[in-house]
Amino acid sequence: MGIWQGKMAVGADSLSLVMVVERSGDTLRVVLDSPDQYVTDIAVDRCTFVNDTLRFSVRSLGASYTGRYDGDRIRGRFTQYGRKMKLNLSPASERKLFLRPQEPQPPYPYREVELSFPYEAGLPPINGTLTLPTEGKPKAVAVLLTGSGRQDRDETIFRHKPFKVIADYLTRRGFAVFRYDDPPYSTFAKQTTFDFARQAQVVFDTLSARPELAGVPVGFLGHSEGGMVAWIAAAAQPKTAFVISLAGVGTPISEILLYQTHVLGVASGLSDAQIRSNDQLNRSVYGIVEKSKTPEDAVKKLDVFFKKYTRKMSPEQRMALHLTDVEIAGICSQATSQWLFTLFHTRPADYLNQVQCPVLALNGDRDLQVEAAANLAGIKAGLLKSPSVTCHTLPELNHLMQECETGTVEEYGTIEQTMSPRVLEAVTEWLDKVIQSR
């Protein structure tokens, strides 16, 4: 009974694990928390405690644990997919929970419709949730486009569900919202931003053809890379009613990455000399990739560059600078992946200048991933055909549009707020004005 916690070594790092044992009537309920990963209530499928030996298994993790009670602790090993790690559990006085007060909870005052429809022959279907006001036709339909990396329909990150919060907020105010999952990893890993834009166009066409949405204006709301997806999709679809960009991009990816590495280096306390060195190195690497015609060509040129760059470094220097052979291989693999290589050769301005609908762009001034000033300037300058452009830098907001102190990634999960109400209010007010003016 109670709360037990411990740490296990995972490579060079450690990972906390918490076991919570609660009595429910005549039965015991056992769950696991992984606070370092912001995960709680992982169901334990089987748990026994016989002759001072604790055993439990967790099918969802492919994991099991065996430990023996020894004084005031349980000493044992955690096994996951055949890998064994030492894990000793000690009593804890409290359980660390991560409150997400903005996350909507049922019952909802609107309808939810689960949709699945084909995207392209041989590829998995698009699966998502359409939320609709209970009465009358919606004012408009917002298609939500997630940011970088494989995401679920709620854009779940650090137990936050920003897209679920947005969908709930807009649907309660008379709008329909569709949010959808990225495809399985085997498919997603081969796709680029242009594949995501084609999916968005299929969603647009499919929703427009639904009887309950006939004649209802449809637009895109994209977060981070989802903003780039929105520019491409809206440029190809002249019937797009609006685009909303949250922490979106208006400058080339090389500039965004240079900004990220610079400000995150400053935030992590690197010396000025190290930051300048990193800036110069990254600029050289990105320049090589941008000038290469194919990923294979970039790999060859990067190999030559890094051999020359590290030629006079000692093994200790290379390790300190994270430029060992293994780490260089990782840098080259990431920079020449089909997704990132394509982004290095994509200019937002080429698509921004084809967008013909009203646009709202909101960025936070504490965003350490996408610089607000430069990207909003790029968005505004590129929207040559848009009849209405509204760009705002919102104070004290990070890349997830949370009210924050530092803007660092490490802070995202510690903040209870999923999205600033200022963002939700600004989006709704702007949408109402745009739809009323049609």
Q: Domains, the chain, ranges and CATH?
A: 2-92 (2.40.128.120), 110-252+346-436 (3.40.50.1820), 254-343 (no CATH)
pLDDT of residue 172: 98
pLDDT of residue 80: 92
Where does the pLDDT of residue 272 fall: very low under 50, low under 70, confident under 90, or very high at 90 and above?
Answer: very high
The answer to whether residue 61 scores a pLDDT higher than 70 is yes
Cβ neighbours for 180, distance < 8 A, ≥ 6 positions apart: 115, 126, 127, 128, 129, 144, 153, 203
Q: Which residue has the tokens 């006001």?
A: 133
Rounded-to-integer distance, Cα 420 and Cα 403, Å: 6
Kindly report each contact of residues 402-408 with a partner whose C-beta sits within 8 Å and lies 24 or more positions away, as own/partner: 404/366, 406/267, 406/366, 407/267, 407/364, 407/366, 407/367, 407/368, 408/264, 408/267, 408/368
Amino acid in the structure at residue 105: Q
Percent pLDDT > 70 in the chain is 99
Q: Phi, psi at residue 387, to the nearest 5°?
A: -70, -15
pLDDT of residue 74: 93
Assigned token pair, 389: 């452009």
Rounded-to-integer distance, Cα 376 and Cα 394, Å: 11
pLDDT of residue 344: 97
Q: Is 373 exposed, middle or buried (0-12, 13-18, 19+ CB in 10 A)?
A: exposed
pLDDT per residue as tens digits for the range 65-88:
999 998 889 999 999 988 899 999
Where does the pLDDT of residue 13 fall: very low under 50, low under 70, confident under 90, or very high at 90 and above?
Answer: confident
pLDDT of residue 25: 65
Rounded-to-integer distance, Cα 429 and Cα 423, Å: 10
Assigned token pair, 274: 């190290």
Strand order in the sheet with 359-364: 110-117, 126-133, 176-180, 141-145, 218-223, 243-246, 359-364, 389-394
Task: Tell me which DSSP letter residue 358 carries.
Answer: -
The answer to whether residue 246 scores a pLDDT higher than 70 is yes
- Which comes out higher in pLDDT, residue 49 or 154? 154
Rounded to the nearest 10°, the torsion over CA 89, 90, 95, 98 is: -40
Rounded-to-integer distance, Cα 41 and Cα 37, Å: 12
- The pLDDT mean for the chain works out to 94
pLDDT per residue as tens digits for the range 100-121:
999 999 999 999 999 999 988 8
Where does the pLDDT of residue 37 fall: very low under 50, low under 70, confident under 90, or very high at 90 and above?
Answer: confident
pLDDT of residue 26: 64
The answer to whether residue 326 scores a pLDDT higher than 80 is yes
Cβ neighbours for 132, distance < 8 A, ≥ 6 positions apart: 110, 111, 112, 113, 138, 171, 176, 212
Looking at residues 379-399, what average pLDDT do you find? 97
With CA atoms as reference, report the closest residue to 261 among 192, 196, 334, 363.
334
Predicted TM-score (pTM) of the model is 0.89
Peptide bond into 35 cis (omega under 30): no
pLDDT of residue 96: 84
Looking at residues 340-346, what average pLDDT do you find? 97
Amino acid in the structure at residue 310: T
Q: Which residue has the tokens 């790999």?
A: 299
Where does the pLDDT of residue 22 fall: very low under 50, low under 70, confident under 90, or very high at 90 and above?
Answer: confident
The answer to whether residue 23 scores a pLDDT higher than 80 is no
Assigned token pair, 211: 């009887």
Percent pLDDT > 90 in the chain is 84
The neighbour count for residue 22, using CB atoms within 10 Å, is 12
pLDDT of residue 260: 95
Radius of gyration of the chain (CA): 24
Rounded-to-integer distance, Cα 163 and Cα 171, Å: 12
Contact 303, 288 (CB under 8 A): no
CA distances from 326 to 11, 197, 323 (A): 15, 34, 8
Angle, CA 253 vertex, CA 247 and CA 257 arms, to 5°? 80
Question: Which of 38-42, 149-153, 369-373 shows the lowest mean pLDDT across its residues?
Answer: 38-42
Question: Which of 128-132, 250-254, 271-275, 387-391 shows the lowest mean pLDDT across its residues?
Answer: 271-275
Kindly report each contact of residues 187-196 with a partner whose C-beta sits within 8 Å and lies 24 or more positions away, as own/partner: 187/123, 187/124, 188/150, 190/338, 191/338, 191/339, 192/338, 192/339, 192/342, 192/343, 193/225, 193/228, 193/229, 193/232, 193/339, 193/342, 193/343, 193/346, 194/232, 194/342, 196/145, 196/225, 196/226, 196/229
The answer to whether residue 289 scores a pLDDT higher than 80 is yes
Assigned token pair, 8: 């296990």
Q: What totals of helices (H) and strands (E) does the chain contain, helices first?
A: 14, 17
CA distances from 290 to 178, 299, 302 (A): 35, 12, 12
